[in-house]
Amino acid sequence: MDWSFEEKSAWGSLLAVAISSWLFFPVALTHLAAGGELRELAGRAIFVVAVIVVVEIVYHSMIAVASRNTGSDERDALIGMKADKWSGYVLAVGVCWIIGLIVLRDVLPWSAPPPSSVLIAIYLLLALTVSEASKILLQIWYYRTGI
């Protein structure tokens, strides 16, 4: 079975998200847990964005040259909508978890202090990344299962 351009694109996007997450989140969370500041992570953040751009450009250029059929159809639109819907749920769960973390740590006196605004920003970025990764994985799953 020949993969569509959109399915190949999803694999490239998944690769870019995986690489960028691996390069940024372990370092950022460790750095912030050790008391580091956000501005010290600016160089890494710029590097990670550059990696995403390069991976996406190179990969999509390769599949555009190799693809014979680049047109989208109703199936591609349906798969995109279904994946968007479920990734929205994933994002909502992540944001609710972050809000719960903030409220519980602020309300309960015996708990750890509330997270800093920088840590909240990193958590929100993580929720967005997990949501995007879930969207891409669902797209791939829908293509593989024949929906």
| Mean pLDDT across 12-35 | 88
**Confidence check: pLDDT of 6 > 60:** yes
- In the chain, domain spans: 5-145
More confident position, 95 or 41: 95
pLDDT in tens, 38-89: 778 888 888 888 988 998 899 888 888 877 665 677 888 899 899 999 999 9
In this predicted structure, what is the pLDDT of residue 104?
Answer: 86
> Region 109-114: what's the mean pLDDT?
74
Q: How do the residues of the chain divide into helix, strand and coil, expressed in percent and rounded to 5?
A: 80, 0, 20
10: tokens are 């999803």
pTM of the model: 0.82
Q: Exposed e or buried b for every residue in 36-74, given b needs 16+ CB within 10 A?
A: eebeebeeeeeebeeebeebbeebbeebeeebeeeeeee
- pLDDT number for residue 136: 94
Residue 1 pLDDT > 60 = no
Q: With pLDDT > 90 as the criterion, what percentage of the chain qualifies?
A: 31
- By the 10 Å C-beta count (0-12 exposed, 13-18 middle, 19+ buried), 34 is classed as exposed
Q: What gap in Å lies between CA 143 and CA 10, rounded to an integer?
A: 10
Contact 16, 52 (CB under 8 A): yes
Q: Are 127 and 58 in contact (CB under 8 A)?
A: no
d(CA 94, CA 25): 16
Q: How far is CA 78 from the centre of its chain?
A: 21
Structure tokens at 28: 């950022």
State in Å, rounded, how far the first CA of the chain is from the last one. Answer: 14
